[in-house]
Amino acid sequence: MTKHYMLKILVCAVLFSLVFVSCNGHKEEYHSVMERIEAESEDYHGVTLSSEKYLEELKSIEITEGDFTFLIPERKSQIKSYACTECHTKSLNELQDSNIGKKAHWDISIVHANENIMNCATCHNINDMDNLKSLTNKRIDFNNSYNLCSQCHTKQFNDWKGGAHGKNIGGWAPPRAALTCVNCHNPHEPHFESRWPARFNTQKVKERE
C-alpha cells in the first residue's frame, strides 16, 4: 500500500519538474506574450506584420501602465465643449447667475452611480475645469481618463491593460493600439443594455393564430 503511494508521489514529482523546467525554459526567451508576438511577427514568411496601416488616420498617444505600453486615441480634440475654460473662467455661482435661461449642460445627467456616491465634482474639478480629478484631488488629463475609471473599476481596468476588455485596433500585430474607456462608454451614462440574439418569436405567432 505505502509502496504504491510512494511511487505515485515520485511520478508526480517527476512530471511536475518536467513541466516546471520546460516553462522556465520558455520564460527565458520571452518576458511576456506581447514580446513574443512582437519578436515572432518580425519577418513572418518574409512579411513584417504591422498594425500601422490601420492607425494612419488615428491621432494617438502612447501610454505606459505597469508592464504595458500601447497606443490609445487622443481625446481632447474630440470633445465638443473642450476647452472648458472657454466659458469656465468665472466661478460656478457667477456663471449660474449670468446664465438665466437654458441650462448650459442640459443634455448631461448622471445615470451611473447614485447621487450619494457621485456628482459632477467627483470627476470634474470645479476650479480646474480643463482637467479631470481623482478621488484624492490629483489632476487627470482628459486624454488619460481611463485613470479616472480605474479608481472604481479595477477589474475592467486590469483586463483592459492586458487586452481582455475593450478592443484592439488593427489586431494584435505591433504596435498595439486599443480603444480607451470613453470611446465605448459615455462616462455620464456608461451602462449598456443587455441584448438578446434575434430569434423567431414563436410565442407571438401562437398568440396571433
Q: Which residues bind ligand HEC (CB under 6 A)?
A: 75, 79-82, 84, 86-88, 92, 95-96, 99, 103-105, 108, 110, 112-113, 117-118, 120, 122-124, 129, 132, 142, 145-146, 148-149, 151-153, 156-157, 160, 165-167, 179-185, 187-188, 190-192, 194
CB of 61 to ligand HEC, least distance (A): 13
Between 166 and 174, CB nearer to ligand HEC: 166
Buried b (16+ CB within 10 A) or exposed e, 160-171: bbebebbeebbe
Which of 88, 176 has the CB closer to ligand HEC?
Answer: 88
Kindly state the smallest distance separating residue 58's Cβ from ligand HEC, in Å: 14
The alpha carbons of the chain give a radius of gyration, in whole angstroms, of 26
Nearer to ligand HEC, 19 or 121 (CB): 121
Closest separation in Å from C-beta 192 to ligand HEC: 5
Question: Which three cell numbers, joined as nine digits, stand for 139?
Answer: 489632476
Q: Which of 77, 82, 74, 80 is nearest to 145 (CA)?
A: 74
Contact between residue 169 and residue 177 where contact means Cβ atoms under 8 Å apart: yes
Cα 208 from Cα 204, distance rounded (Å):
6
